[in-house]
Structure 1
Amino acid sequence: MKLKSLILGSVAAAGLSTAGFAADLGVLTSLDVCDALGLSGLTISSDTNCLQISGEVKYEFIWGDYAGTFPGMGILAQAGSRNVDDNNAVVVGGSTFDNDWRTKVETWLKFVGTADSDFGPAKATIKLKSWFDQVVTNEGYDAAGVYVGPTVGGDATVNGVGSNGAWIIDEAFVSVGDTTIISAGRKGSIANLGDDEPFNFLGLFNSDAVDKGVRYAGQHPRTGNYAIQVVSDLGNGVNVGVGLENLGNEGTGAFGTNPAGFYNATTGAQAAGTLVGVVNYAGEGITAHITGVAGGVLDGIVEDWGVHAGVTGTFDAFKVRVAGAYGANNASDTYWNVLGSAQATFDMFTIALSGEATGGQNAGVAIPNQAGLGGSIGAAITEGVSVNLGGRWFDENTGLANDEGYQVALQLVAAVTETVKLTGEVGVYGTNKPVAQQSDFYGSAELAWAPGGGFTSSLKGEAHQNGAYKVTFKAAKSFQ
């Protein structure tokens, strides 16, 4: 045993001596190219390139009777409408068809090949994406009682291109640089539209309608798609970027789905080319940005433009956020949207208050101003158990009486185990409009499971006073 220990000790000492001698001579041991580039995750390396592979699969299935629209909760703002579960049956030949269901699967696979260059890391990125989305309303019957079958297709959220289960190229671009990065090809926008979500747990109605936050108007101008971009880190938390985007101008016909006609005048090649500029700041408890976009610049005429700005300050137990957006086009349409939110934490309690407002003009004629408020108070009862009580209110036309809607809810969140979380909620949606149904009480319960390994899943049930109900199952797994 002593002899064995002596031999092992001699070998170790010889190894250390050799390493020290090699260092003295300036001899470097070779590293894997991925390690040398500081890259990790799922990688494959050659002599000069590191290939990173990542991906995700998400599945969602919904079943119930939920496809109607609760009366009086539509939002006139040019961002969409707030739909609430409602029982909406179709009777054909004495039979009632009212069940709804939806099957959706979304998959993406991303490859990033990186090599060193004199200007910094040189990369080629390819991202493939596929999603299938089948929607069945009233078991396939329309409002007239005619069987039309399910609606099948993608969400058309990837640069305006639908998938319907087929693989499409979501990203395909090259880039080079370190503190200054030059990119060209098919990729997402450099526009920063963050720092604008309200802190209260229910959020705000118009904020939800524009996908959480503020927007300059509908979908315009279009960004991302095929682009040439330059971003640079100036130090001290400041980052700037400029890009020429939407060079592919995918999609045909009039843009946008705004009910009052905002930004529907720009069609075809007129909308091609969007100039994007952004300034970001992060540091000392502050994050902020301002983004400017000008659409349709390739023909030398700016068809529409917008500005988005937001700032968030974190000061010990307090958070404050202010955001705003403004848009206009050459058809005398304008749109503005502002939001403010504050949050304070005192021991076990968290209090948040938010407000929003919108307005503008359609063809030079003013549209109704709108305003909303929201607030919540949360309490951490014990470790892993918390309660949230909140409400939100929205006035669709501040110049008219009896034109408001609201929601009040009580939520309980409990971490049953380290991997299982239970969320229960009861509440009511309502309106003071003179409609047949002015309120809708509801209750929901969700069981979420995250056992690790990038896998998550949940099962949620929801029931409404008006007879609507919904069961939602989700599962997802990512890897990198």
Structure 2
Amino acid sequence: MRLATFLLASATLVSPTFAADLGVLKSLDLCDTLGVSGLTLSSSSNCLQVSAELTYEFRWGDYKGDRPVLGSSYSTSIDWNAPDGNANDWDSWLDVYLTAVGTSSTDFGPAKATIVLYGYEYNEVQNLVPDPSGEFSVDEAYFSVGDQTVLTAGIRGTSVFNSDDDDAFGWLDSFISYETGGVAFDGGKGKYGTEGHVIQLTHNLGGGFTTGIALENLDEDGSLIGVLNYGSDTLTAHISVLAGGVLDGSLDDLAIHTGVTAIFDAFKLRGAFAATNDGWWNALASAETTIDMFTLAATIDGTSERELGLVASASAKLNDSFTVKLAARYLDADTTVNDDEGAEIRARVEYKATEALTLAAEAGHLWTGANAPSGTQSITDGLLELTWAPGGNFEATTAIAANTIGAYKLSFTATKSYE
């Protein structure tokens, strides 16, 4: 579906005429009673909440060569491979989300029906060869009912499997956590299915404890999931377990993820661990402290395939306008799967020119060892970035980046949301 058609459908969904046809009035009484805020419409028995998000990104340059610098983990800020030098590359990508949540009151608690529509149009061009794609689909469609105990069923993009409390502190990810997305419970193999078609049951035990059990990934081979969570002002923790293949009776994919974060005044500590029955494990320990204007962080992590990763970072808010950031990270992995080794130093300066306008400059230098995918390299890169955030949940960023192996990239990204 073309974007214009999608936006027309969205406008129709929330128009007064459409609402009137459904017998919905512009009274917020029921929504206030149910604690629903944002853009809402209500009748005597139902509250409709509508939200949306639109993101556009354009990139141009020479950055799509097939020679990786250090696995897929080179730079979280610039995100590229080496150039191939043949011809220009570019991407134009538009994402649209539209969410409608209908809520009514029952004796068991609020009953909700949620529908999330998702559309995108994407044209990827490498060496002047276009590869367009697009889609418009129902991303989520589920109902939930309950207050302290909540039953949810349908198509959902949120799992009861809790994999939080696993992000490294600091402004720069470690090489490992950038690639695995924190602490990965599936080893990046994607075979441990969550979300999708689900039947979920969660319960608030009180005292900061919540628990959940679910059947998820029911549109494929199914997963049985259990979780226990704890949360307070100073401590969050969880343990999640998963058994895959429940529908075919194999139960051959087992995984666990656990994490804890503790906050003590100016100190933060975090630890996380994930493992599977096929021998994969991923562990992380991270700490952060704030002393006057300085924030210091350090992380050590490792996996059964990538042996050791280290990262340390510091940031200093010099005044209301200037922030300076420094970081260094290291990876040593000697495996049969992916022999990566390298180190990187990186610096970033941010200047808040006005309440809405922020300028940033970033530079880094990377060394890779002989066992890295592209062999020994020494690469310097730089980034200039302008971010405009005038309010109203709108933000736009323009950036230019280049490195000493010939890659360069111009980019523009804009995001607007309402709720």
TM-score higher than 0.5 here? yes
Alignment length (residue pairs): 384
How far 1:220 moved relative to its partner? 2.7
1:220 aligned partner: 191
Aligned ranges 1:441-480 → 2 under 5 Å: 441-480=380-419
The one of 168, 171, 194 equivalent to 1:201 is 171
Work out the CA distance in 2 between the residues paired with 1:73 and 1:124: 45
2:239 aligned partner: 290
Work out the CA distance in 2 between the residues paired with 1:72 and 1:53: 43
Question: Is 2:300 the counterpart of 1:355?
Answer: yes
Q: Which moved more, 1:288-297 or 1:368-377?
A: 368-377
Work out the CA distance in 2 between the residues paired with 1:116 and 1:204: 46
Relative to 1, partners in 2 of residues 1:232 and 1:403: Cα closer, same or farther, differing over 3 Å?
closer
AA at the equivalent of 2:276: G
Q: Which has the higher strand share?
A: 2
Relative to 1, partners in 2 of residues 1:230 and 1:49: Cα closer, same or farther, differing over 3 Å?
same
Work out the CA distance in 1 between the residues paired with 2:227 and 2:340: 38
Could you list the runs of 5+ residues in structure 2 that have no partner in the other structure? 1-26
1:406 aligned partner: 343
Work out the CA distance in 2 between the residues paired with 1:31 and 1:98: 56
How far 1:302 moved relative to its partner? 0.5
Preserved CA contact (<8 Å) 1:69 1:83: no
Aligned ranges 1:328-407 → 2 under 5 Å: 328=277, 333-359=278-304, 368-397=305-334, 404-407=341-344
Question: Is 2:53 the counterpart of 1:56?
Answer: yes
Relative to 1, partners in 2 of residues 1:47 and 1:106: Cα closer, same or farther, differing over 3 Å?
same
Greater radius of gyration (CA): 1
Work out the CA distance in 1 between the residues paired with 2:234 and 2:172: 25
Work out the CA distance in 1 between the residues paired with 2:96 and 2:357: 25
Could you list the runs of 5+ residues in structure 1 that have no partner in the other structure? 1-29, 77-81, 90-96, 141-149, 154-163, 250-271, 360-367
Preserved CA contact (<8 Å) 1:135 1:152: yes
Identical aligned residues as a percent: 42
TM-score (norm 1): 0.76
The one of 126, 130, 137 equivalent to 1:137 is 126
AA at the equivalent of 1:310: G
Work out the CA distance in 1 between the residues paired with 2:69 and 2:38: 50
Work out the CA distance in 1 between the residues paired with 2:368 and 2:56: 34
How far 1:35 moved relative to its partner? 1.7
Work out the CA distance in 2 between the residues paired with 1:75 and 1:193: 22
User: Cα deviation per residue 1:222-263 (whole Å; 9 max; x = unaligned)?
Assistant: 1000110011111111111111001112xxxxxxxxxxxxxx
AA at the equivalent of 1:135: E
2:215 aligned partner: 244
Relative to 1, partners in 2 of residues 1:70 and 1:464: Cα closer, same or farther, differing over 3 Å?
farther
Preserved CA contact (<8 Å) 2:69 2:82: no
Work out the CA distance in 1 between the residues paired with 2:258 and 2:369: 34
Aligned ranges 1:176-191 → 2 under 5 Å: 176-188=145-157, 189-191=159-161
| Aligned structure 1 segments of 4 or more residues deviating by more than 4 angstroms | 69-72, 434-437
The one of 202, 206, 211 equivalent to 1:235 is 206
AA at the equivalent of 2:285: G
1:46 aligned partner: 43
Relative to 1, partners in 2 of residues 1:436 and 1:312: Cα closer, same or farther, differing over 3 Å?
closer
1:86 aligned partner: 82
1:275 aligned partner: 224
Relative to 1, partners in 2 of residues 1:378 and 1:69: Cα closer, same or farther, differing over 3 Å?
farther
How far 1:31 moved relative to its partner? 7.4
Relative to 1, partners in 2 of residues 1:100 and 1:369: Cα closer, same or farther, differing over 3 Å?
closer
How far 1:303 moved relative to its partner? 2.4
User: Cα deviation per residue 1:364-404 (whole Å; 9 max; x = unaligned)?
Assistant: xxxx55211000121111123111111111112179xx952
1:192 aligned partner: 162
Q: Say which SS state the counterpart of residue 55 (structure 1) adopts.
A: strand
Relative to 1, partners in 2 of residues 1:31 and 1:127: Cα closer, same or farther, differing over 3 Å?
closer
Work out the CA distance in 2 between the residues paired with 1:36 and 1:55: 23
TM-score (norm 2): 0.87
How far 1:433 moved relative to its partner? 1.3
Q: Say which SS state the counterpart of residue 228 (structure 2) adopts.
A: strand
Work out the CA distance in 1 between the residues paired with 2:104 and 2:68: 57
Q: Say which SS state the counterpart of residue 289 (structure 1) adopts.
A: strand
User: Cα deviation per residue 1:350-370 (whole Å; 9 max; x = unaligned)?
Assistant: 1111011111xxxxxxxx552
What is the RMSD of the two structures over their aligned residues, measured on CA atoms? 2.1
How far 1:40 moved relative to its partner? 1.5
Q: Say which SS state the counterpart of residue 32 (structure 2) adopts.
A: helix
Q: Say which SS state the counterpart of residue 178 (structure 2) adopts.
A: helix
Work out the CA distance in 2 between the residues paired with 1:425 and 1:195: 28
Preserved CA contact (<8 Å) 1:216 1:337: no
